[in-house]
Amino acid sequence: MAKEQFRFYTRLHLSELTGLRASTLDQLLKLLKQVPGSSIYYHTHRFLQQHQYLSPEPPNDFAYWVSEMVGEDELAEQLASIDTVQFRNIRSLRDEIVRTVEAYLRSKPLAKLRFSSIGEEFHFVKAVSFVIPTNNVANNLAEFLQIIKRITIDSIYYHVFEARLRLEQETNDFSNWIATALGDTALADEISRLDPYTRTLEDLRNSLIAIIDKRMGERRE
């Protein structure tokens, strides 16, 4: 039995339009510095949920737009390669995106002359998140595993991504509970080492299931 239960939450988001748009890299840079953190969050995480079948396809909207609409593939690659998992908060992630675009424009000033066609501008959207407790509660690792198998990817998303980055937690909720309530730091570490940004959410679910299954097998032995 765990020292305390784990209650699964779900996090659902609604997309709020800001009315802000960019058609050049200069405009994009200016707005990147101004928009709310929830907009940076939206554009760096939306692909994970909306394009679950595409992996490892463009991990953020900025990279997709710079490549497909502006045609600056080198900058797009740099933006796509930003290691999102290393950032503990949106502020530092935003700083890195801004730094990347600024450095690129300094080294390739002609890129400032490129622009997207009419109708293909970058539109800044922000996420409004609703966090709701579900009826799923685990008292031990076996129950935890059964719930992981059936909950929505939104719930997995909340406990892995939202908790860690947007809410500035040190680790993800699953590892935190497994370490503190079950006292299994090895399993907690293994889960926290998963890079969730380079796999689809269903792959992430399957990886979690495989890791926990293996651990339970070891315990039985």
Partner 1 sequence: MINVWVNAVNKLDEYGPIVGPAILDDLRLIAGKLKGKKVQHVNSTAVGGGVAEILNRMVPLLKELGIDTRWDFVKGGEKFFNVTKKFHNALHGRAEEITRGDFETFMETSRQNIEEFDASGDIVFIHDPQPIALIKKKKNNKWIWRCHVDVSDPNARVWSFLMDFIEQYDSAVFSAPSFSRRLPIRQFLISPSIDPLSDKNKDLPEDVINDVLEKYGILRDKPIITQISRFDRLKDPVGVIDAYQQVKKYTDCRLILAGGGASDDPEGIEVLNEVMEKAKKDKDIHILLLPQDDIVINALQRASTVIIQKSLREGFGLTVAEALWKGKPVVASNVGGIPLQIKHKYSGLMCRSVQGAAFAIKQLLNSPEYAKKLGENGREHIRNNYLITRHLRDYMLLFLSLFYKDDIVYL
Which parts of this chain interact with partner 1 (CB under 8 A)? 10, 12-19, 36, 38, 49-54, 57, 68, 119-121, 123, 125-132, 134-135, 150-152, 154-155, 166
Percent helix, strand, coil in the chain, to 5, is: 60, 15, 25
Nearest approach, Cβ of 150 to partner 1 (angstroms)?
6
Q: Does residue 54 contact residue 154 with C-beta atoms inside 8 Å?
A: no
* Residue closer to partner 1, measured from CB, 121 or 190: 121
Nearest approach, Cβ of 189 to partner 1 (angstroms)?
28
* Residue closer to partner 1, measured from CB, 104 or 122: 122
Cβ neighbours of residue 195 under 8 Å, at least 6 residues apart?
A: 85
- CA atoms of 192 and 174, how far apart (whole Å): 8
* Residue closer to partner 1, measured from CB, 9 or 180: 9
Nearest approach, Cβ of 8 to partner 1 (angstroms)?
10
Cβ neighbours of residue 130 under 8 Å, at least 6 residues apart?
A: 11, 12, 13, 14
Nearest approach, Cβ of 207 to partner 1 (angstroms)?
18
